[in-house]
Structure 1
Amino acid sequence: MKPVFVSLPVLIALGACSVAPEGQSIHDPYEQTNRQIHEFNVGLDRALLRPASQAANTLPDGVTQTVTNFADNVSLPGLIANGILQGDIKGASTNTFRFVINSTVGFYGLFDVADIIGLYEEDTDFGETLAVWGVPEGAYVELPVLGPSTERDAVGEIVDMLYDPLGNWVTDEQLAYGTAANVADKIITRGAFGNSVDSVLYDSADGYAQARLLYLENRRYELGQEQSDAYIDPYADPYFDPYEDQ
């Protein structure tokens, strides 16, 4: 996995990243720049992603589900690699069986046969791998196009994009199909949660602060760093103010 070693200087830098002061759950020293990127992302959503997702909502469920199934299947080799790196043999094995079943019986992943028999995806990424390895979360950052992240997860995004184990087994043309399916899946997902996303980006008093809080709380919960009763869902109230009691 050459890209992992290429990223080592970045990982070393991450190890020296400032950590949120004790008792402070949000560490955002780049807020001014982050807000500018957020405005760019909102503009991109308004101009491209939102209209495309609304168009996707008009397609038959069978079509969108097939695209989602295919996108999920081509992402499985990356999940398997991260599971191995994390020492999660059970998760890596489950995803391996899913990939084999859906790539054969499921006709290249167009049908999620594994899900039908109760073999559910174990989702993960290289950001979680870094967390397992003890790399600190670092500061909050918003990435162009990709959206909310942290310094640790930003490195994870880069590694996941640079290294795709599927490339060892398929042609460049097939990889291009997988990339196109992943983009289409993002659009479909945006459409499925359209009202909730709109409430954060367009209806809240401070969409940046709300998106930041939602991302951090959800991500920490995913990684087991927050208790379930500490999870906050700003989607429940589009005018939720995270600083109301501060």
Structure 2
Amino acid sequence: MQDGIRVNDPYEAQNRRVHAFNKGLDRTVIAPVSNLVSSGEKAPGQTGAMDLVINAGSNLSLPGKVVNSVLQGRPEPAIKNFFRFAVNTTLGMGGLLDPAGKDFGLPEQDTDFGETLAVWGVPEGAYLELPVLGPSTQRDAVGKVVDLAIDPLYHLLHRDGAWAAFGLRVASKAGERARFGDTVDSVLQGSADSYAQVRLIYLMHRRHELNQGGAEIDPYADTAAQDAIDPYAE
């Protein structure tokens, strides 16, 4: 147990070694790049380049979320994400802008194959920290792999286009890392035990997201900030 949260971490020694690698990578590569991106951020009231990249990356994730909602037997979020993708891809200049959310009342309905597995009754499994990808569980690690395999865009686009889409989604996560840099730094670099803190944040946030945890939510467990800690979270 950690702060009243059930923790299944039989691979803690290995996870801590991976965490040390990820923490060093964030300090020496990811954070400096993110700070470089944020240094040219927009003036108040304007849409900056970082916002455009984040919007585009988020838009590219929507077809996969449509598929997952269908697999979960949830037609309403599937329909909303489908129309959000259609509106932002056409009226939003390929997803750079977000008229679907601002003008049509179609916010993103977040989901992934890890949630699909949870809906199907697959247990969470042990906690894992993955190289570069960050905190996860055995169930969510499988989900990350399957999400790439079932994403319609990667099957419809030419190979170069698929790689470009993937790169844009990674850049979108770097933008989110920049946007919530202070929060992420306080966890990764400012905690006495950053591994335990990241583990707690991830498990609390994820279980709450899947309605499988308690009602208490850690103050750091803001969805967007969590996405910045977990660079491939969708």
Same fold (TM over 0.5): yes
Instruction: Bin the TM-score by the shorter chain.
Output: 0.7 to 0.9
Distance (whole Å) between structure 2 residues aligned to residue 58 and residue 48 of structure 1: 16
Asked whether 1:159 is paired with 2:146, we answer yes
Which residue of the other structure, out of 93, 110, 133, is the alignment partner of 1:146?
133
- SS of corresponding position for 1:111: coil
Give the equivalent residue in structure 1 for 2:117: 130
- Equivalent position of 1:88 in the other structure: 74
- The residue aligned with 2:225 is none
Deviation at residue 33 of structure 1 after TM alignment:
0.2
1:177-216 paired onto structure 2 within 5 Å: 177-216=164-203
Call closer, same or farther: CA 1:142–1:118 in 2, change over 3 Å.
Answer: same
- 1:82 partner SS: helix
Aligned to 1:57: 38
Aligned length: 214
Given that 1:200 and 1:235 are in contact with CA atoms closer than 8 Å, whether structure 2 keeps it comes out as no
- Does the CA contact (< 8 Å) of 1:125 and 1:156 recur in 2? yes
Which residue does the alignment assign to 1:222? 209
TM-score by length of 2: 0.87
TM-fit CA distance, 1:226: 2.2
Counterpart of 2:19 (choices 38, 41, 48) is 38
Q: TM-score, normalised by structure 1?
A: 0.83
Question: Does the 8 Å contact 1:79/1:124 carry over to 2?
Answer: yes
Alpha-carbon contact 1:196-1:235 (below 8 Å) kept: no
- Give the Å deviation of 1:158: 1.1
Q: Unaligned regions of 5+ residues in structure 1, if any?
A: 1-19, 237-246
Aligned residue identity for 2:27: R
Q: How does 1:65-104 map to 2 (within 5 A)?
A: 65-104=51-90
2: CA distance between counterparts of 1:168 and 1:161?
Answer: 10
Question: Do the aligned partners of residues 80 and 143 (structure 1) sit closer, same or farther apart at CA in structure 2, a change above 3 Å counting?
Answer: same
Q: Deviations over 1:84-117 (max 9, x none)?
A: 0001100000000011111111121121110112
